[in-house]
Amino acid sequence: MAKSSVLGYPRIGAEREWKKALEAYWSGKIEESEFHSKLQEIRLDHLRKQKDKSLDIIPVNDFSYYDHVLDTATMFGIIPKRFSYEGGVVPLSVYYGIARGTKDAAASEMTKWFNTNYHYIVPELDGVTPVITENKPLVAYREAKEKLGIEGKPVIVGPLTFLKLSKGYEVSETDAWLERLLPLYVQILQELAQEGVQWVQIDEPILVTKISTADLQRLKTIYETFSSSVPDLNIMLQTYFESVENYSDIIQLPVKGIGLDFVHGFSDNLSSIKTFGFPSDKVLGAGVIDGRGIWKASLRDRLVLLEELTDLVTTDKLIVQSSCSLLHVPVTVKNEEKLQTELKNALAFADEKLDELILLTKAVSSGGAAAIREELEQCESALQALKLSDERNRKDIQQTVAAISAKNPERSQPFAERHIAQQKKWQLPIFPTTTIGSFPQSVEVRKARQLWRKGEWNNEQYADFIREQIDIWIKLQEEIGLDVLVHGEFERTDMVEFFGEKLAGFAFTQYGWVQSYGSRCVKPPIIFGDVAFEEAMTVEETKYAQTKTNRPVKGMLTGPITIMNWSFVREDITREQIAYQLAYALRQEVEALEQAGIGMIQVDEPAVREGLPLKEEDQAEYLAWAVKAFRMTTCTAQDTTQIHTHMCYCEFHDMIDSIEAMDADVISIETSRSHGELIHSFEVNTYKLGIGLGVYDIHSPRVPRVEEMTSMIERALRVLDPKLFWINPDCGLKTRGLEETVDSLRNMVEATQIAREKHSLKV
């Protein structure tokens, strides 16, 4: 009989209990012992839920105190020297110091987990001698067994993926590092085998990307070593997010099971199995339920796929599972009381996906579709009702967007001519200073929004409060000495949610939270219908802010690709079509800001690269329509209107042409968290438009020294045109405190003055 499993379960809890515990501990409201107790309670509750639903194989060690890659690094004692680690089990102070930074040490780099919206902490191998600090998978296995009687499946990040996602070593040192790590992995697995563990899931998502012949040989070495060291341990070599490259090589590896994604890598993985077969001595982990999307699966279609697979593998060699960890979806639909019925009935979050897996496993193992006939009918009825809804069939929007997207969007004049006109209008000094958009959202700001949403404040009371906050921060920005100001975005909960609430085609959950990084949880909007502009969204606050200062105030918009990539999107039309609908709606907002007298408009696109397909052959097409969507948004702007954009966690070098093609007058880009490594991109490439490199890390509470920012500025000016160079933080400041924000910005302005004095005579 087939078995059911998932690759991981959300950490945060249905009401973000995990996040609340973390932040209570960080703020000193609870002691470490109570913190451990709270997290154990949350962890056991998640395991108990999976057990109660009769999931056959339950993952353990998928829970984390912050990030699973950081967990792997600290398990192997891979601690940057600046955190003064002295050996043994890694203290929470060091663990969280790596993730968040300390007063004296910068945090490690954070970047996206493949092409998801989750961000992991990048391990730093330089100067480290790896050792086992504790066997975390074993601890997790014992806890599940002793507390709940669960025979868990420990989950571990595989050696090749771990190395590929790490930094601080040369490519030529890869084999040396593998030699250091492999014995440690072996010891972890041997201890698990001695404990009686039946299955271990070793995640190697790197195998869905293009890897070298040398890496294939390393992969073979890794798993032959595991096989000879723990011959009786069932290892599930798990891939996800796409189809595997080198399928015929991978199926020959000496493992007991191979997990494949039959959602995002559906056609190629299925084609590979049909072409090359699947080994009869291995178990197939069939990822048939989408671990990243929120829509109900068509159980009928999924069952057809599973029946096709059972023609190629026997039922007893089949595990029906999620396509990836359920980390990327909210916990449960059942608490959502405000969604319209047609939409709610078509949704499946983590708990509902467990139910889908159980149903499909039952059908595969006994009786096929007949065994779940009623559930199949209910599922198809729910999906059909949404398909036929008015929101998904707005012909006016569909026809207008089709006509606009058929044209090539471009500004009326090239950048060189626009730059002259803008300089004449704005008369900005060399190295203009600005921020990315948001300022700290204090307890008072959040409380005011809550009072307004509950109806305890009327619209005018809330608007008065927002204006008071704008007044405070316009004055502060002027006192600090910033050149281009922002209104602070105090009326916005989230840079995507805010716009979604004002556009047609969006829906919002009450509890649909997912982890972005650390305790940062977001509640992505749901794009379920055709997107349409209804009324001006940002004009009121931006126009008010401009009346309070003679300095320019930027209008702040979130770009079409970021809104799309940071939302859960419909699956009945292409992502390209969704992007164009968003672009058309946002273009109307750009025009509304211009009509209100706003002459600098920032259209943020921090998530452009997050949507980049993992397959190289698909990337050019995506970048082409992503660039087109941005240009559709901004192409009608006047020559003197300065269009800004912002990107973060972007490996600039591999998409510099596309970013330049967006034709923004100024781009700000994160460099601080990667310790200036992005600057190297400009040492090997030229960039001819305005650019601001983030000179300090806003994700850390520490206040950066003037000298740190001066060093970053000087390195950048070795390769960038001073006439086009801006100075700014690396991202918005919403999550930071008032005092640290003001102190950091003062230091940034001081560093700018030093640079101006040094370079003014050279310009």
Residue 146, H or E segment: helix 136-148
Please indicate, yes or no, if residue 14 is contained in any of the structural domains. no
**CATH number (domain holding residue 695):** 3.20.20.210
Position 717 scores a pLDDT of 87
Adjacent-strand bridge partners of 666 = 644, 690
For 723-755, write each residue's pLDDT tens digit. 999 999 988 888 888 899 999 999 999 999 999
Please indicate, yes or no, if residue 426 is contained in any of the structural domains. yes
Instruction: Give mean pLDDT, residues 209-220.
Output: 96
What would the DSSP string read from start to end of 675-704?
TTTTHHHHHHS---SEEEEE-S-TTSSSPP
Catalytic residue among 46, 328, 699, 759: 699
Q: What radius of gyration do the chain's Cα atoms show?
A: 26
Annotated binding site: 16-19, 112, 117, 436-438, 489, 520-521, 566, 604, 610, 646, 648, 670, 731
Residue type, 705: R
Q: Which two tokens stand for residue 145?
A: 């067994």
CA dihedral 96, 101, 107, 113 (to 10 degrees): 50
Residue pair 521/513 in contact (Cβ under 8 Å)? The answer is yes
Question: Residue 183: pLDDT band by 50, 70, 90 thresholds?
Answer: very high
Alpha-carbon distance values, 373 to 297, 300, 359, 362, 377 (Å): 15, 9, 10, 12, 6
Please give the DSSP secondary-structure letter assigned to residue 31.
-
Position 273 scores a pLDDT of 97
Please indicate, yes or no, if residue 433 is contained in any of the structural domains. yes
Residue pair 105/83 in contact (Cβ under 8 Å)? The answer is yes
699 catalytic? Reply is: yes
Measured at the CA of 716, the angle between CA 712 and CA 721, to 5 degrees, comes to 145
| Claim: this prediction has a pTM higher than 0.85 | yes
- Whole-angstrom distance, CA of residue 742 vs CA of residue 552: 20
Instruction: Give mean pLDDT, residues 407-419.
Output: 95
Given a cut of 80, whether residue 402 has pLDDT beyond it is yes
For 339-373, write each residue's pLDDT tens digit. 999 999 999 999 999 999 999 999 999 878 888 99
Please indicate, yes or no, if residue 716 is contained in any of the structural domains. yes
**Interstrand relation of 554-558 and 600-604 (parallel, antiparallel or unpaired):** parallel
**Cβ partners under 8 Å of residue 693, min gap 6:** 668, 669, 671, 678, 679, 712, 716, 720, 725, 727
Please indicate, yes or no, if residue 5 is contained in any of the structural domains. no
Please indicate, yes or no, if residue 594 is contained in any of the structural domains. yes
- Domain enclosing residue 490, as ranges: 395-405+419-762
Instruction: Give mean pLDDT, residues 534-541.
Output: 96
Given a cut of 60, whether residue 649 has pLDDT beyond it is no
Question: Residue 610: pLDDT band by 50, 70, 90 thresholds?
Answer: confident
Closest CA to 745 of 535, 539, 479: 479
Number of domains in the chain: 1
For 290-345, write each residue's pLDDT tens digit. 999 999 999 999 999 999 999 999 999 999 999 999 999 999 999 999 999 999 99
Please indicate, yes or no, if residue 364 is contained in any of the structural domains. no
Tokens 């089709």 belong to residue: 402
Please indicate, yes or no, if residue 144 is contained in any of the structural domains. no
Q: Which two tokens stand for residue 164?
A: 């590929």
- Whole-angstrom distance, CA of residue 343 vs CA of residue 509: 11
Annotated binding site for Zn(2+): 646, 648, 670, 731
Question: Would you give the end-to-end CA distance of the chain in angstroms?
Answer: 75
Alpha-carbon distance values, 717 to 422, 434, 673 (Å): 22, 18, 19
Least confident of 379-393, 606-620, 639-653: 639-653
Secondary structure class of 734 (helix, strand, coil): coil
Please give the DSSP secondary-structure letter assigned to residue 508.
-
Alpha helices in 237-340 (DSSP H): 247-250, 266-276, 299-309
Position 609 scores a pLDDT of 83
Position 762 scores a pLDDT of 58
Closest CA to 326 of 283, 305, 356: 356
Given a cut of 90, whether residue 614 has pLDDT beyond it is yes
Structure-model confidence comparison of residues 651 and 346, the more confident one: 346
Instruction: Give mean pLDDT, residues 489-506.
Output: 92
Given a cut of 60, whether residue 381 has pLDDT beyond it is yes
Q: Which two tokens stand for residue 294?
A: 């929120």
